[in-house]
Amino acid sequence: MTTTAHGRFTSLLLDLATHEAEVTRVEEVGAGLRLVSIAGDGLRAAAWEPGDVVQVIVVGEALLGPWEIRSYTPLALDPATGTAQILWHVHGNGPGSDWAASAVEGTPCRVVGPRRGVRLPASHGALVLFGDETSFSTAVAVHRARDARVVLEVESVEESRAVLGGWFGLVDVVLVAREPGDAHLAEVERAVLAAQGGGVDVAPVLTGKASSVQRLHRALRGAGVQGRRISGVPYWAPGKKGLKGR
């Protein structure tokens, strides 16, 4: 198969694997944070659990390539209307961020999923969720459904508190401000271990920046938490594009 034919074949498969959707609402909820509602028939009657992701084609027409696809975690998905609400971190460094920055009511898109994002323990026991601004949507979804202790590394504690509390009622959350050289991760580590509280039934779910996920994974293992109990899903890593989470 020639490269062009291969590209067309891949695009055809992509077209078959995705469904049409449309932006129905965009709200600026804080600096670099947009709440984007996407509706489509393919999201109707979808089996969705908090923490599951949808993927959005943020560059390209499915049949014409080239294209780029990015992963996002709805904070809610209403199967009756086929509407997913995603809290989008507009960081300004990639096409996914650009797509959300320019999305308006009526913007068409193609989506895949939902599919499993983070692995939540099957039991209804407590869990510790770690992440950053890319995890706000996950945090809201999981906190609404489960006994979740949330620890987040953020650019601004005040602005994050205003968004999470003011818009989503998520007030019971530990926010730690980033410092140069990741000096703040010592405090994050203490907060996650304190939230874990030595509880064997408390399941850690680590999301956000890959290097922070790795460091907390090591810290939890060092504190005696079994590796198989830890769900670690890097959402992004400097210099890498389009992480999928598995």
By CB under 6 A, name the binding residues for ligand FAD. Answer: 53, 70-73, 86, 88-89, 91, 93-97, 117, 134, 137-138, 233, 235-245
All residues at 6 or more sequence positions from 140 whose CB lies less than 8 Å from its CB, including other chains: 75, 87, 164, 168, 170
Q: Which residues contact 96 (CB under 8 A, 6 or more apart)?
A: 56, 58, 68, 70, 72, 242
Question: Any residues with CB less than 8 A from the CB of 222 and at least 6 apart, and which?
Answer: none
Measured from the CB atom, the residue of 65 and 190 that comes closer to ligand FAD is: 65
Nearer to ligand FAD (CB atom), residue 67 or residue 88: 88
Burial 82-118 (b: 16+ CB within 10 A, else e): bbbbbbbbbeeeebbbebbeebeeebebbbbbbbebb
Residue closest to ligand FAD (Cβ): 94
Tell me whether residue 55 or residue 196 sits nearer to ligand FAD (CB atom): 55
Query: Max CA-CA distance within the chain?
Result: 57
Q: In the complex with ligand FAD, which residue's Cβ is closer, 90 or 128?
A: 90
Q: State the nearest-atom distance from the C-beta of 77 to ligand FAD, in Å.
A: 12
* Least Å from the CB of residue 22 to ligand FAD: 19
Per DSSP, the three-state class of 228 is helix
CB of 30 to ligand FAD, least distance (A): 12
Minimum gap (Å) between residue 107 Cβ and ligand FAD: 16
Work out how close the CB of 200 gets to ligand FAD at its nearest, in angstroms, rounded to a whole number: 26
Query: Distance between CA 89 and CA 99 in Å, rounded?
Result: 11
Cβ distance to ligand FAD smaller for residue 125 or 245: 245
Tokens 């007030």 -> residue: 171
Q: Which residue, 228 or 240, is less far from ligand FAD as judged by CB?
A: 240
The dihedral through the CA atoms of 231, 235, 241, 245 has a sign that is positive
Q: In Å, how far from its chain's centre is CA 30?
A: 17
Minimum CB separation from ligand FAD for residue 208, in Å? 8
Rounded Cα–Cα distance for residues 191 and 189 (Å):
5
